[in-house]
Amino acid sequence: MGIGAPVWHRRQVLRVAGARLLDDRDRPVVRAALDADPVASCMVAARVEVAGLDPWRLGGEVWASGSRHDGLCFSGANLVPLRGERPAIRSFADRARRHGRSCSSIVGRAELVMPLWEELAPHWAPAREVRADQPLMVLPGPPSVTPDPAVRPVRPDELDRYLPAAISMFIEEVGVDPRAGDGGAGYRARVAELVSAGRAFARFEGDQVVFKAEIGALSSRVGQIQGVWVHPACRGHGLGTAGTAAVVERLAGMNRVSSLYVNGFNHVARASYTRIGFTQIASFSTILF
């Protein structure tokens, strides 16, 4: 662009080139983009379907890059790149740098997350852990194994019995105690929300949770299973496989596709999910802070 270019033209080029904040006027375009990749975008689609694109209701922002929304990214508690080529990824990194890091992780398709982290890594504090290979798996129908009939939704009055298992799962999976900082109030509220919504499942033996899992995100098409955990004393007896199958059966009854992503090094879990009927369709990556 020459020095003599009109001011309005320079501003237009900058507006198109940089990542910009979307609002509800862009909702049809965003919904179409999310519908085009329903499994990988389930976490964001579930929120947009309910809250639209207003940041206060959404709990985050949706950014676009390119005049035709060629790139999309969600920025909230997690930074989730949804689509875009390298120039779009670079524009998201530029905006994220200007805002400063407020997310606890970057998560999404590996081909988007890893280039985004490459752009951000020199400017943000070192990641606590980089999980570059996380197979994204999907099952569009009922499970291939018999579900555990003892696995059921957790009742609100069972929250105090369920919460220790949820905390143990979080520490094992993420490597930090979710009670740190606020004494666990925030995590308790999140778990209570899932329980109240009927999206937390467990098998109880007496007062003890021996299996748990949750539907962490539920869009109109897909349910994403998370937090699968078996009590250490009960592992190796198929509870995880049959319990996860029970959650899949519940999602199939809701006409939802079941999805999950798992660490590539967790061969036991991957074998279990394969027996249930899951197949890998892509790879996720997660950058943990």
Per-residue pLDDT of 271-287, as tens digits, reads 999 999 999 999 999 99
Query: What tokens appear for 179 in the block?
Result: 């009670």
Last residue of a domain, one of 125, 158, 183: 125
Same domain, 263 and 170: yes
What's the pLDDT score for residue 277?
Answer: 98
For residue 4, being part of any structural domain is answered with no
For residue 289, being part of any structural domain is answered with no
What's the pLDDT score for residue 16?
Answer: 43
Contact 48, 69 (CB under 8 A): no
Last residue of a domain, one of 125, 155, 185: 125
Same domain, 254 and 173: yes
Same domain, 145 and 258: yes
Same domain, 107 and 145: no
Q: What CATH number is given to the structural domain containing 253? A: 3.40.630.30
Same domain, 175 and 75: no
More confident residue, 8 or 96: 96
Cα angle: 37, vertex 43, 49; to 5 degrees: 80
More confident residue, 10 or 154: 154
Same domain, 171 and 272: yes
Query: Is it the case that residue 1 has pLDDT exceeding 50?
Result: no
Length of the chain: 289
SS (H, E, C) 116-172: HHHHHCCCCCCCCEEEEEEEEEEECCCCCCCCCCCCEECCHHHHHHHHHHHHHHHHH
Per-residue pLDDT of 70-126, as tens digits, reads 899 999 999 999 999 999 999 999 999 998 999 999 999 999 999 999 999 999 989
User: Measured between alpha carbons, how far is 281 from 136 in angstroms, rounded to an integer?
Assistant: 6
Same domain, 79 and 160: no
**What is the CA 150 to chain-centroid distance, rounded?**
27
Last residue of a domain, one of 125, 157, 184: 125
Give the strand order in the sheet containing 129-139: 20-21, 61-65, 71-75, 78-83, 105-109, 279-288, 129-139, 257-261, 222-230, 208-218, 200-205, 152-153
For residue 133, being part of any structural domain is answered with no
State how far the alpha carbon of 67 is from the alpha carbons of 12, 89, 90, 95, 169, in Å.
Answer: 10, 15, 15, 17, 43
**pTM for this entry:** 0.89
What's the pLDDT score for residue 69?
Answer: 79
**What percentage of the chain's residues is helix, strand, coil (to nearest 5)?**
40, 25, 30
What's the pLDDT score for residue 17?
Answer: 58
User: Measured between alpha carbons, how far is 21 from 55 in angstroms, rounded to an integer?
Assistant: 9
Query: Is it the case that residue 3 has pLDDT exceeding 70?
Result: no
User: Measured between alpha carbons, how far is 189 from 185 in angstroms, rounded to an integer?
Assistant: 6
Mean pLDDT in residue range 179-207? 95
Which of 139-148, 175-184, 208-217, 248-257 is the least confident region?
Answer: 175-184
Half-sphere exposure of 149 (CA within 13 A, CB side): 0
For residue 48, being part of any structural domain is answered with yes
Same domain, 51 and 160: no
N-term to C-term CA, the chain: 39
For residue 94, being part of any structural domain is answered with yes
For residue 13, being part of any structural domain is answered with no
User: Measured between alpha carbons, how far is 140 from 38 in angstroms, rounded to an integer?
Assistant: 12
Residue range of the domain that includes 208: 140-283
What's the pLDDT score for residue 66?
Answer: 84
Same domain, 165 and 250: yes
Same domain, 118 and 185: no
What's the pLDDT score for residue 125?
Answer: 86
Which of 2-16, 143-157, 223-237 is the least confident region?
Answer: 2-16
> Average pLDDT over the chain, rounded to whole?
92
Query: What tokens appear for 276 in the block?
Result: 């249930």
Number of domains in the chain: 2
Same domain, 109 and 86: yes
For residue 190, being part of any structural domain is answered with yes
Same domain, 38 and 154: no
What's the pLDDT score for residue 6?
Answer: 43
What's the pLDDT score for residue 18?
Answer: 82
Mean pLDDT in residue range 9-32? 74
For residue 103, being part of any structural domain is answered with yes
